[in-house]
Chain A
Amino acid sequence: MTWSEIQPVLTQACWDTLYMVGWSTLIAVVAGLPLGILLVLTDKGGLLQNVVVNKVIGQVVNIARSMPFIILMVALMTFTRWITGTTIGREAAIVPLAIGAIPFFARLVEMSVREVDGGLVEAVQSMGGSTWKVVRSVLVPEALPSLISGATTTVIALIGYSAMAGTVGAGGLGDVAVRYGYQRFETGVMWITVAILAVVISLLQIVGDVVARSLHRRSGGSGGLLLFRPLRGVLPGTVATEAVKKS
């Protein structure tokens, strides 16, 4: 295969991946953030303590988290058809991707929010603040650097999941790697997709790190931990490490 033949295929695959990952991340963040906060609030000693709700959400999240994505995708087909009217293509892949990412992100949110100093919550309560005010003024802003890191991790996980979306004809880079690289023995194509994925993932991680760090540094770097930095050091002397040197 020549470059002129493969180039449009790759461009289309990039857009497909971006489309699927973009939408499913958005949905995962929108749904996972409240879910994660709810997990903290309803827990024992939380502001909205409710053991039953906590256990139910926790259990659902655990099951969804432990499900292999490819099985989740097949298992959700009826639901997917109900939502999108089809079980194949990019739109159809977004549904299981989002459903898989919501509990993933919710757990990360839960971890980040738990790191917020309970004294701050107490301070706002002592001022007469409501639970909603505590969430808005304390839990989310104080956990923000860590939440950004969590979102970065989620995007990267979703890129990984999206490779499997090819099995429902959703396209994307993973699909190209499998169909051209593996099934047609076009090793070159496979390596190109690997390279693209590596660059994209590294860039995402770097951007996420820089944003999280700048927020973290502004607020003095105390409290809240940055989650998972699997790619730290992959590209020596990159923006992330430069940022560290500058500070």
Chain B
Amino acid sequence: MSVRRRPYETQPHSPCLNLHPCPGTPTPAHSTVTETHVITTSGLTKVYRSRGREVTALDGVDLHVREGEVYGVIGQSGAGKSSLIRCVNLLERPTSGTVTVAGQDLTALAGRGPRAGRELRRARSRIGMVFQHFNLLSSRTVRDNIELPLEILGTPAKERSRKALELLDLVGLADKAGAYPAQLSGGQKQRVGIARALAGDPKVLLSDEATSALDPETTRSILQLLRDLNRQLGLTVLLITHEMDVVKSICDSAALMDKGRIVESGTVSELLATPGSELAAALFPVSGERTGEDRTVLDVTFHGEAATQPVVSQLARTYNIDISILGAAIDTVGGLQIGRMRIELPGRYEDNVVPIGFLREQGLQIDVVGADAQAPVLVKDGAK
């Protein structure tokens, strides 16, 4: 049996997402990622002290975000991802380590004390940030909210208003300029938040759980907007999230955080090709329980060419074994078509070395599930 692309799965949720560029839009099909690192943190440590107790939120984090990519940091709450993103623009002062954004060492600009000096403030104005709870000023109209960063930059009023309207158009809210945030829906508020973050023409956009307060439908449209902006403007996006779907639908690279450390990181395709990768398993879970004791359960990952080969039926014919399929799924992850299937072979791992070798020869990635053999892969149900 070969894994065929099911029509439903090959249609992305919206025509602009993932593989397929919208016809008639200037969106380039391929990413704008270059090899230059635009955000780098090295040895970033943050320790919170309160009432004599010390909590280490970040424990030596090295992060490298390439120019033009969408980089997702995922982890459970308390993993330190929030501290990480807030350290990038120094809203939070790291205890030690350095943060470099667009070639500028921000930690060197910070100075002492909690107040941000002029230099740091200028650097911050070149980094856009969107927030989970939007953080729009309720006393200002949508347009005035977008003008706020421009006021800080000292842009003349006429230019501010022109720019604000242009940005509103870009995020699809041209008709809401005079509305107050309270009159908008969550998704519209976040669009305003994004427009505001872009007002200072930043090279980098930080997204702090930008879609976590939104329903799934709105989440998709906001993610699509971020993706489009990333493609059209070459904007580098660093986002933190606890939702695997976010990483799945827009990230070029991802990092998994746990207890203040980055446990895994890399481009999504690298991660998926890494046997035993927790992130890959979480990004793309397959389920299915082993049916008996002396059986071998394999997770077979197909990508690229291999996805079109009828490997499973070949395996059954060549070795004359019965194969049960426990679970299978096909999805698009980071713009890549990928299939994963959990199959069960009769006999223990030792009995199945040859068939497994055969599968590996076909260019498939095989993870053996269970107690025996190499690194057991536990399929996590997404980080919560």
Q: Does B138 belong to the interface (CB within 8 Å)?
A: yes
Q: How many angstroms between the C-alpha atoms of A201 and B336 in the bound complex?
A: 71
Q: Does B162 belong to the interface (CB within 8 Å)?
A: no
Chain B residues within 8 Å of A47, by CB: 114-115
Give the residue of A119, A131, A144 whose beta carbon is less than 8 angstroms from that of B135: A119
Closest to A48 in B: B115
A123 near B135: Cβ-Cβ < 8 Å = yes
Nearest-Cβ distance from residue A9 to partner chain B, whole angstroms: 45
Chain A residues within 8 Å of B77, by CB: none
B180 near A129: Cβ-Cβ < 8 Å = no
Known: A126-B129, A128-B152. A218 touches B137 (CB 8 A): no
Q: Does B318 belong to the interface (CB within 8 Å)?
A: no
Give the residue of B121, B140, B182 whose beta carbon is less than 8 angstroms from that of A222: B182
Q: Does B149 belong to the interface (CB within 8 Å)?
A: yes
Selecting from A72-80, A95-103, A135-143, the interface stretch reads: A135-143
Q: Which of A116-138 contact B (CB under 8 A)?
A: 117, 119-120, 122-131, 133, 137-138
A142 near B138: Cβ-Cβ < 8 Å = yes
B137 near A142: Cβ-Cβ < 8 Å = yes
Q: Total A-B pairs in contact (CB under 8 Å)?
A: 85
Q: How many angstroms between the C-alpha atoms of A133 and B136 in the bound complex?
A: 15
Q: How many angstroms between the C-alpha atoms of A221 and B182 in the bound complex?
A: 8
B148 near A124: Cβ-Cβ < 8 Å = yes
Q: How many angstroms between the C-alpha atoms of A223 and B139 in the bound complex?
A: 11
Taking each of A49, A117, A137, which has the highest tally of chain B beta carbons within 10 Å of its own beta carbon? A137
Chain A residues within 8 Å of B180, by CB: 218-220
B122 near A119: Cβ-Cβ < 8 Å = no
Closest to A119 in B: B135
Nearest-Cβ distance from residue B66 to partner chain A, whole angstroms: 22
Nearest-Cβ distance from residue A183 to partner chain B, whole angstroms: 51
Q: Which of B124-150 contact A (CB under 8 A)?
A: 124-125, 127, 129, 131, 133, 135-140, 148-149
Which range contains the number of A residues in contact with the other chain?
20 to 34
Nearest-Cβ distance from residue B121 to partner chain A, whole angstroms: 4
Q: Does B68 belong to the interface (CB within 8 Å)?
A: no
Chain B residues within 8 Å of A119, by CB: 131, 133, 135
Nearest-Cβ distance from residue A147 to partner chain B, whole angstroms: 11
Closest to B123 in A: A128
Nearest-Cβ distance from residue B141 to partner chain A, whole angstroms: 10
Q: Which of A188-236 contact B (CB under 8 A)?
A: 215, 218-223
A128 near B124: Cβ-Cβ < 8 Å = yes
Q: How many angstroms between the C-alpha atoms of A140 and B115 in the bound complex?
A: 20
Closest to A46 in B: B114
Known: A123-B131, A141-B140. A128 touches B151 (CB 8 A): no
Q: Does B260 belong to the interface (CB within 8 Å)?
A: no
Chain A residues within 8 Å of B135, by CB: 117, 119-120, 122-123
Q: Does B91 belong to the interface (CB within 8 Å)?
A: yes
Q: Does B335 belong to the interface (CB within 8 Å)?
A: no
Nearest-Cβ distance from residue B140 to partner chain A, whole angstroms: 7
Closest to A118 in B: B135
Closest to B153 in A: A128
Q: Does B89 belong to the interface (CB within 8 Å)?
A: yes
A39-55 interface code vs B (CB 8 A; 1 in, 0 out): 00000000111000000
Q: How many angstroms between the C-alpha atoms of A172 and B182 in the bound complex?
A: 45
A127 near B125: Cβ-Cβ < 8 Å = yes
Q: How many angstroms between the C-alpha atoms of A102 and B190 in the bound complex?
A: 40
Closest to A223 in B: B138
A127 near B152: Cβ-Cβ < 8 Å = yes
Chain A residues within 8 Å of B136, by CB: 120, 123
Chain B residues within 8 Å of A137, by CB: 137, 148, 151
Taking each of B122, B137, B148, which has the highest tally of chain A beta carbons within 10 Å of its own beta carbon? B137
| Beyond A47-B115, A130-B121, A215-B139, 14 extra complex contacts between A and B, CB < 8 Å | A120-B135, A120-B137, A122-B91, A123-B135, A127-B124, A127-B129, A127-B200, A128-B121, A129-B121, A142-B137, A219-B138, A220-B180, A221-B182, A223-B138
28 contacts between A and B (CB under 8 A): A119-B133, A119-B135, A120-B135, A122-B91, A122-B135, A123-B136, A126-B124, A126-B129, A127-B124, A127-B125, A127-B129, A127-B200, A128-B116, A128-B121, A128-B123, A128-B149, A128-B153, A129-B121, A130-B121, A137-B151, A138-B137, A141-B137, A141-B140, A142-B138, A219-B181, A220-B181, A221-B182, A223-B138
A-B interface, 8 closest residue pairs, ranked by CB to CB distance from nearest? A220-B182, A128-B125, A219-B138, A123-B135, A128-B121, A141-B139, A127-B149, A128-B124
